[in-house]
Structure formats: C-alpha cells, structure tokens
Amino acid sequence: MQDNHNKEGASIGNKTMEIATALIILAFGAIVMWDSNRIGSGWGSDGPESGSFPFYVGLLIVVSAIVTLVNALRSSAEEAGEFVGGEEFKLVLAVLIPSIIYVALIHFIGIYVSSVAFIAIFMVWQGKFSVVKSFAVAIPVNIFLFMMFEIWFKIPLPKGPVEAMFGF
C-alpha cells in the first residue's frame, strides 16, 4: 500500500474530521430536539404540537450523527486516510484568517474600505502584484460596487467613516 501522508508537515486525518463533524451535527440535532420540546413536541388536545415535527427531525439528525460517530471511532486512522496535509492546511489558513479579519473589519470601517484593503492585500501578498497595481484595481472595483449597490439598486451596505465623510 502506498503511503500518501504528507511528510513535510502535520496532517489532519479523515477520522479526526469525521469525529468533529459528527459531534457538531450531534450538538445541532440535540439543540433542535431541546428547543422543539421547549415549545411542545407532544400531542395536544387538537393534535400534534408545533414542535413535534422538528423534534423528530432533530432525533433523526442525532441518530445519524451517532451512527457516523460510532463508525468513525471504530475505523483506524490509517484506513480513514488523510483529510488535509500540513501544506494544504496552511494554504487554507492563508485565505481563511484574512477573510475572518475582513469580515470583522466591516463593522468598524465599512464594507467598501475593508474590500479595498482585502483585494489590495491579497493582490500584493498572493498575486505578487505591485502596491500601485493592487490599489489601481481595488479602488475602482469598489467604487463600481458602491455605485451599483448604493446608488443604482438603493441597497445600503455597512458603511464606515470614509463614506460618512462623503455624506453617505
């Protein structure tokens, strides 16, 4: 059998991800069942209460998650294989972490300024473009998006202090 594990860095196995996913889905199903029971999941005088159907859907989710969890626990890490290698995981984090920061900044500086920074930084960092070229793309793209959403479609998006300076 050929060894497909990444030797350059740590990897995350399928077994680990299956267990984590099963636990998250199990928690979700349990929350659905708990809340359905809270609003009434039994049989009332006029028929099933409003939480009956969601309760049984939650129960089905919990049972499915338990089956997945048991199967994952019974399998060996070797036969489950690798989910993602160390280098691939670094690439995912290289996009995920800046994206989380971008979303967090929208609250403070607005979507348009955050988007200019996000596009420009990614062009410089990942695309190896010059700072001038990066801002030459990022600024017009976001001016166009601002015009499209705010002026033409009249859809207000989160704005920050820069837009406030211009009266928006």
CA pair distance 168, 146, nearest whole angstrom: 11
Residue 2: the pLDDT is 46
Q: Is the pLDDT of residue 88 over 60?
A: yes
Domain positions in the chain are 12-84, 86-165
Provide CB contacts within 8 A for 54, sequence distance 6+. 32, 35, 36, 41
**pLDDT surpasses 90 at 68:** yes
What's the predicted TM-score (pTM) here?
A: 0.63
Q: Would the pLDDT of 62 be above 90?
A: yes
- Which band of pLDDT confidence, cut at 50, 70 and 90, is reported for residue 83? confident
Contact 51, 25 (CB under 8 A): no
pLDDT for the residue 10: 65
CA 3/CA 77 separation, integer angstroms: 13
Q: Given a cut of 50, is residue 168 above it in pLDDT?
A: yes
Q: Beta strand 12-13 with 43-44: parallel, antiparallel or unpaired?
A: unpaired
Confidence label for 23 from pLDDT (cuts 50, 70 and 90): very high
Any idea how long the chain is? Answer: 168
Q: Which of 77-81, 86-90, 114-118, 119-123 has the lowest mean pLDDT?
A: 77-81
Concatenating the DSSP letter of every residue in 98-157 gives HHHHHHHHHHHHHHHHHHHHHHHHHHHHTT---HHHHHHHHHHHHHHHHIIIIIIS----
Average pLDDT over residues 123-140: 96
Whether the per-residue pLDDT at 1 is higher than 90: the answer is no
Nearest to 139 by CA among 160, 124, 120, 111: 120
Mean of per-residue pLDDT scores for the chain = 91
Rounded CA separation 21/34 (Å) = 20
Highest mean predicted confidence (pLDDT) among 18-27, 89-98, 156-165: 18-27
